[in-house]
């Protein structure tokens, strides 16, 4: 898409480009104008305007010098995307040039930074860009667990910014704090939830009890409140549960004693009532930290 910002220094690029110059030929309008900066200055733009979910993307950027064709009508600059080198020493002439990345990891706000080469008499310039999210066709998060995670996110007042869509996709770029594993040829399962030190407030939804493959939950050092969900009793594979340094209230559920694999239970620095139930305290091999 062409870049558009009335507050930026804009130039017209009126010279025709043929498909032999750029193999992935954009619409003519995309190259009709460009953003630039004055001599020696970096050009920094945030594009696209919206935050992007954590994923791999195909990114293509288009550049064309706007001056009359001559031996001097070119600009050389480095291109960085989110402070990572996208292309070094790009030479943008009147013929136009396109650079692209096939699997570029992006998340949240995207910054494009063009740094001019030393002694260039013109600043860098960019005309247009394209971006497509790469979606892997294959297994997805089991629907039961995907719904559970969506409900969990709703109970948080400030969930991580990438908590939308499928929790386990794209593969290798799951939601912040979520670890997934293959359940079968059709589905992923969620095996770990680590949200420590993210400043999350709100409550823990009872839907967390539907994450029946989970082995570890760590929501320590946040601002969570409300009761400890009794739904934890459904997590037969849970080994570690860390809830410390929050604002949880109410009693400690005796049903935690029913978790056959639970070995680590950290509850300290909350506002819990009463003592750890004997049935929980007496579980063989359990490490309990409370109050």
- The mean per-residue pLDDT over the stretch 264-268 comes to 96
Strand 201-203: give its sheet, edge to edge: 201-203, 223-226, 247-251, 271-273
Domain termination residue (choose one: 115, 133, 151): 133
pLDDT value at residue 101: 86
Looking at the structure, do residues 242 and 211 belong to the same domain, yes or no? yes
Give the pLDDT band of residue 127 (cuts 50, 70, 90). confident
pLDDT value at residue 92: 86
> Quick check: bond before 256 cis, omega within 30?
no
Separation of alpha carbons 248 and 219, rounded Å: 11
User: Which domain does 172 fall in, by range?
Assistant: 140-289
Provide the number of structural domains found in the chain: 2
Condensed to tens digits (0 to 9), the pLDDT of residues 218-231 reads 999 999 999 999 99
Write the CA distances from 67 to 74, 79, 95, 200, integer angstroms: 8, 21, 11, 52
CB 9 within 8 A of CB 36: yes
Does the pLDDT value for residue 4 go beyond 80? no
- The mean per-residue pLDDT over the stretch 235-262 comes to 95
DSSP-assigned letter for residue 151: H
Give the pLDDT band of residue 19 (cuts 50, 70, 90). very low
Please check whether residue 1 lies inside any domain of the structure: no
Write the CA distances from 275 to 47, 84, 199, 226, 236, integer angstroms: 53, 52, 27, 17, 23
Looking at the structure, do residues 23 and 148 belong to the same domain, yes or no? no
pLDDT value at residue 53: 86
Please check whether residue 5 lies inside any domain of the structure: no
Residue 61's domain is classified under what CATH number?
2.60.120.680
Tokens 């790469």 belong to residue: 134
pLDDT value at residue 1: 44
């Amino acid at each position: 898409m062409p870049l558009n910002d009335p507050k930026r220094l804009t130039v017209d690029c009126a010279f025709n480009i043929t498909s032999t110059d750029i193999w992935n030929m954009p619409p003519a309008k995309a190259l009709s104008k460009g953003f630039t900066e004055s001599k020696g200055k970096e050009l920094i733009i945030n594009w696209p305007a919206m935050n992007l979910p954590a994923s791999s993307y195909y990114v293509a950027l288009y550049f064309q010098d706007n001056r009359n064709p001559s031996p001097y009508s070119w600009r050389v600059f480095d291109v960085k995307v989110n402070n990572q080198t996208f292309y070094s020493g790009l030479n943008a002439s009147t013929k136009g040039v396109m650079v692209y990345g096939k699997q570029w990891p992006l998340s949240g706000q995207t910054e494009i930074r063009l740094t001019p080469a030393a002694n260039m008499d013109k600043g860098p310039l960019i005309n247009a860009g394209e971006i497509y999210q790469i979606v892997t066709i294959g297994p997805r998060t089991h629907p039961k667990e995907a719904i559970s995670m969506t409900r969990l996110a709703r109970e948080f007042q400030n969930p991580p910014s990438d908590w939308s869509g499928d929790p386990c996709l794209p593969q290798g770029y799951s939601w912040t704090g979520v670890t997934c594993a293959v359940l079968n040829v059709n589905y992923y399962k969620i095996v770990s939830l680590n949200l420590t030190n993210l400043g999350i407030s709100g409550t823990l939804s009872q839907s967390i009890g539907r994450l029946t493959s989970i082995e570890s939950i760590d929501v320590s050092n946040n601002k969570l409140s409300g009761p400890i969900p009794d739904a934890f009793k459904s997590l037969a594979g849970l080994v570690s549960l860390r809830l410390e340094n929050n604002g949880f209230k109410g009693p400690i559920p005796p049903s935690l004693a029913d978790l056959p694999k639970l070995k680590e239970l950290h509850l300290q620095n909350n506002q819990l009532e009463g003592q750890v139930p004997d049935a929980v305290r007496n579980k063989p091999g359990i490490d309990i930290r409370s109050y």
